Structure 1
Amino acid sequence: MARDDIFDIVAIGGGTAGLVTAAGSAGLGARVALIERDRLGGDCLWTGCVPSKALISSARVAHHFRDAAAHGLRAVQPEIEGADVLASVRDVRAEIEPHDDPERFRAMGVDVVEGSARFISPHEVEVNGRRLRGRRFVIATGSRAAVPPIPGLEEAGYFTHAEAFDRDTIPGSLAVVGGGPIGVELAQAFRRLGVDVTVVELLDRLMVREEPELAELLTNRLLDEGIRIRTGRIVTRVERVGERRRVTIAAAGGASGNGAAAAPETFEVDEVLVAAGRAPNTEGLGLDEAGVATSKGWVTVDAKLRTSRRHIFAAGDVTGGLLFTHVADHEARTVVQNALFPVRANIDYGVIPWCTYTDPELAHVGLTEAEARDRHGSAVSAHVYDIGNLDRAIVERAAVGRVKIVVGKGGSILGGHILAPGAGTMIAEIALAMKAGVKLGTLASLVHPYPTMSEGVKRTADAYRRSTLSGWRKAAVDLALRVGRSMPA
């Protein structure tokens, strides 16, 4: 084997985890190969974060046209041409694409190899007949949309987020199968672009990983915008009827809420969008030949992100953990340290914020109130501030929203949850406080610019401080007030 085909680290997969691994390792002087079978950038650039947020932005503008009367302007029904909207989304994607261009990585010293990799031994992979040998490997092949085995679905036709942005048209009506972040984001975006939308969710509420009261507020907002929502329902069949699809749903488990047999519900739509979970991209990698263990297709890793082969690491969605771009970045940074240097670190998932980019946004870090009470018992308290009372929300005509912060003994922050415009940015303040061990009372003393949405965090901290004024603390305050009144002016 030629020396040029021997590397310090070989990254398999050119999404976020692979790109960060390659760039970070090359920047430290390592010899790096990066293998990608399709296009660098992965799901985030091509079919996920970037195009979906561009579509959401277009949809928000359309919504503002209709909602202009709330701002003292004449409301306008926007003229929406689906092909133009989707072309605009692709233009945005093309503007960001150079960030992940193969030549940019080659300029860093990375050997970018195009093709599908397969392990032929624990220390070698083959790509289009070329063998690459590595001291360390990183499996970063990501995930894809999972498609449930719904009778008739394949024959009737459907699309996932992977196809949503390379289409020529926007459908007139749409059934969204799945009420998680992807399904809810796209449901609202398409609804605001004039699509008649029905969301079908197997569980009893949308956004089941989120704080229930905030998820309920968001659900009500979606209902107000005209989205039909069917929770606790399963799609039992999809049939092609001419150019349309007939969707049949029934109560999950086959019974209605009173235990009686549930009558199926049938409706017709132009198209079906499947957003019902993820599946790992591990087929064809030769993981058995490498001795890499998996669980239901997901690559199994330890706290240092090592697989069952200690010289082979995995990062990003393929591990089946928290399936977010920023988590893939975080994992890749840990892998670079652990793969290249003798001092190794455990991955830290203690403070991982995330956000669903609906309007308003729904952001989350740490534990929900129920999770915190399960772990920490009666020491837990929760403190809430309604965004509708905030001056900035009032002037923005954005009355729907809430901040909820969950604390433990002594005011240590266990979790933060925000439903508000810009919640994805606001949650960083709470995440930083958790990471640095800053208690909630301290956030009440932090000066926030006025008027901003971030004051919602301060107001929630104020509510916590007021809650602590009981017992001896309240007695001390009362005594200080009495002494103050007796002092001369």
Structure 2
Amino acid sequence: MVDYDIAIVGGSLAGREAALKAVRQRAKVALVEPLLRHDLIQLQGIGEISNFVRKVNDLTRFGVCTPTDGEYQVSLDKALLWGSAVAANVREQLSPAFLAAQGVDVIVGSGCFQAAPDLSFVVNNRKLSARNFLLATGSHPAVPEIEGLHQAGFLTLTNVWQVLGSSTPPKSWVILGGTPQSVEMAQALARLGYEVTFIVNSPCIISPLDPEIARLLQAQLEVEGIRVYTQTTVTQIRLIEDKKWLQAGNIAIETDEILVAIAEKPFIESLNLAAVGVKYNSRHLLVNKKLQTTNHRIYACGDAIGGYNLPNIANYEARIAIKNALLFPRYEINYQAIPWGILTQPMLAQVGLTQRQAENLYGNEILVLRQYFKTLASAQLTDETTGICKIIVRRNGEILGAALLGSQARELINIIALAIVEKIKIDKLANLSPVYSSFSEIVEQTASEWKKQRLESRKSQDFWDSVFHFLRSR
């Protein structure tokens, strides 16, 4: 007889969410947590800090008097304190004490798997046996192999807060990026008055983004003074007279500090996974569509299985994994209708296929619908006219994907995501009557472009010409 229905090896919010979901289904649950990591929870607030700075700087546009020096100053110390308070509130909602009160057996400590005599997880000299296990360990920064990087010194998203909160933070930054968090950090630092250079290897600042939307976001970053280099590889770094020099392609860049935020890799090195038949590579665990690892009694979710550190995706994976682990493994992961977003200004959000992906699958059968935020009264009233809504559909009205860059994008994308998962066609969204004036009007206006494009096609024109000719001749 096993001790638990499921034992979760945690260290991430997704692990705690999974434990809560399992215990609420009346399962017997163990949650193994190492020393708590708070930094990435706090990082979720950096985009909000950035947006707040922009709003403060925009006060003069609405006639608010400024101090005698002509501009407002935002205290970084107080901004970081606010972010820490928000992170503390989030942690408290899923704290070990709260989970224990719900019936989860919370065990603090590090451990590893053991295969014989039976599959188990050993922590604090205690052997945990369970019907199934879930790995939700979270991740830590991956560090690229660049000549001179370690000698020159660098920061990651896990320790950047200590430096920013110091009395003399660096004035100039180079961010080696390509993740949502690195883009958020770049914009936040620029808005707090720092000089920022952003470097990525890929053609887009974030690889999964629709290229058109990525270019618009890059343009926004450049307008705010951020130097952006795409398709650029840093080959070496040198420390010269207290300055760090990077060789990026054919360009030499001088900076005070380097922030490495290129990717994450899972916390799995000490778990003895090879002994229990779990395969993995340097970036993630290998799982099937049911989120089972190569040992089918061990499931995994969150950034431990690859992808970006995005809480809503990790929680979705945790739900699928818990359903499969507690009963029968019949649910499969499907990212088609799972939205994701970046807390930039303007906000960015995306769901489903990009235009390029849709064209590869369906060719000329797709239509691209666009509408711009500048047409909205709400956008004009709030001076947030920069933005675009782009929806990819098939000619029959099936919604394949969407991307938004603009105010409230993270809220608006959920409407389109719901339409995708419920197989609601684009004409239904065109029939919405949103409250006036609201940003949700952009969804209705973009959806209405579908009818216009269909009417503009030659076959449609011939059909309606015939209809009206018949009616006139009666």
Same-fold call, TM cutoff 0.5: yes
Asked if residue 149 in structure 1 is aligned to residue 119 in structure 2, the reply is no
Please list every run of 5 or more consecutive structure 1 residues that lacks an aligned counterpart in the other structure: 251-263
Asked if residue 90 in structure 1 is aligned to residue 88 in structure 2, the reply is no
Contact 1:238/1:245, CA 8 A, preserved across alignment:
yes
1:309 Cα deviation after fit = 1.7
Report the residue type matching 2:366 in the other structure. V
Q: 1:421 to 1:123 in 2, by over 3 A?
A: same
Taking the aligned partners of 2:279 and 2:136, their CA distance within structure 1 comes to 15
Q: Deviations over 1:132-189 (max 9, x none)?
A: 1111111111222111011221122211111123442343111111133222110000
Taking the aligned partners of 1:347 and 1:317, their CA distance within structure 2 comes to 15
Taking the aligned partners of 1:307 and 1:54, their CA distance within structure 2 comes to 32
Contact 1:51/1:165, CA 8 A, preserved across alignment:
no
Contact 2:138/2:266, CA 8 A, preserved across alignment:
yes
Q: Pick from 110, 113, 132 the counterpart of residue 128 of structure 2.
A: 132
Asked if residue 357 in structure 1 is aligned to residue 343 in structure 2, the reply is yes
Taking the aligned partners of 2:352 and 2:225, their CA distance within structure 1 comes to 32
For 2:357, the equivalent position in structure 1 comes to 371
For 1:58, the equivalent position in structure 2 comes to 49
Taking the aligned partners of 1:322 and 1:437, their CA distance within structure 2 comes to 27
Taking the aligned partners of 1:472 and 1:153, their CA distance within structure 2 comes to 61
Taking the aligned partners of 1:450 and 1:486, their CA distance within structure 2 comes to 41
Taking the aligned partners of 2:151 and 2:179, their CA distance within structure 1 comes to 25
For 1:257, the equivalent position in structure 2 comes to none
Structure 1 window deviating more from structure 2 (312-321 vs 340-349): it is 340-349
Report the residue type matching 1:344 in the other structure. R
Taking the aligned partners of 2:214 and 2:337, their CA distance within structure 1 comes to 21
Taking the aligned partners of 1:354 and 1:291, their CA distance within structure 2 comes to 32
Q: Deviations over 1:97-118 (max 9, x none)?
A: 2112111011111111111120
Taking the aligned partners of 1:408 and 1:110, their CA distance within structure 2 comes to 47
Asked if residue 111 in structure 1 is aligned to residue 108 in structure 2, the reply is no
Asked if residue 11 in structure 1 is aligned to residue 11 in structure 2, the reply is no
Structure 1 window deviating more from structure 2 (194-203 vs 472-481): it is 472-481
Please list every run of 5 or more consecutive structure 2 residues that lacks an aligned counterpart in the other structure: none
Q: Pick from 383, 394, 402 the counterpart of residue 380 of structure 2.
A: 394
Taking the aligned partners of 2:308 and 2:185, their CA distance within structure 1 comes to 20
SS of structure 2 residue aligned to 1:238: strand
Q: 1:27 to 1:85 in 2, by over 3 A?
A: same
1:196 Cα deviation after fit = 0.7
Structure 1 residues 271-286: aligned runs within 5 Å: 271-286=257-272
Query: Percent same amino acid at aligned positions?
Result: 32
1:486 Cα deviation after fit = 10
Taking the aligned partners of 1:77 and 1:348, their CA distance within structure 2 comes to 48
For 1:230, the equivalent position in structure 2 comes to 229
Taking the aligned partners of 1:322 and 1:220, their CA distance within structure 2 comes to 23
Structure 1 residues 305-454: aligned runs within 5 Å: 305-321=291-307, 323-342=309-328, 344-454=330-440
Q: Deviations over 1:363-392 (max 9, x none)?
A: 111111111010111101101111122221
How many pairs does the alignment contain?
A: 465
Q: Deviations over 1:178-210 (max 9, x none)?
A: 133222110000100111111111123322321
SS of structure 2 residue aligned to 1:162: coil
For 1:208, the equivalent position in structure 2 comes to 207
1:23 Cα deviation after fit = 1.0
1:352 Cα deviation after fit = 1.5
Q: Deviations over 1:340-371 (max 9, x none)?
A: 11363222223121101110011111111111
Q: CA RMSD in A?
A: 2.3
Asked if residue 67 in structure 1 is aligned to residue 58 in structure 2, the reply is yes
SS of structure 2 residue aligned to 1:151: coil
Taking the aligned partners of 2:130 and 2:5, their CA distance within structure 1 comes to 6
Q: Pick from 34, 39, 42 the counterpart of residue 37 of structure 1.
A: 34
1:88 Cα deviation after fit = 2.5
Contact 1:369/1:406, CA 8 A, preserved across alignment:
yes
Structure 1 window deviating more from structure 2 (429-438 vs 383-392): it is 383-392
Name the TM-score, length of structure 1 as normaliser.
0.89
For 2:451, the equivalent position in structure 1 comes to 465
Structure 1 window deviating more from structure 2 (360-369 vs 469-478): it is 469-478
Structure 1 window deviating more from structure 2 (475-484 vs 342-351): it is 475-484
Taking the aligned partners of 1:202 and 1:31, their CA distance within structure 2 comes to 46
Report the residue type matching 1:109 in the other structure. G
Taking the aligned partners of 2:151 and 2:464, their CA distance within structure 1 comes to 72
Taking the aligned partners of 1:327 and 1:57, their CA distance within structure 2 comes to 20
Q: 1:140 to 1:483 in 2, by over 3 A?
A: same
For 2:190, the equivalent position in structure 1 comes to 191
Q: Pick from 98, 114, 119 the counterpart of residue 120 of structure 1.
A: 114
Taking the aligned partners of 1:365 and 1:343, their CA distance within structure 2 comes to 26
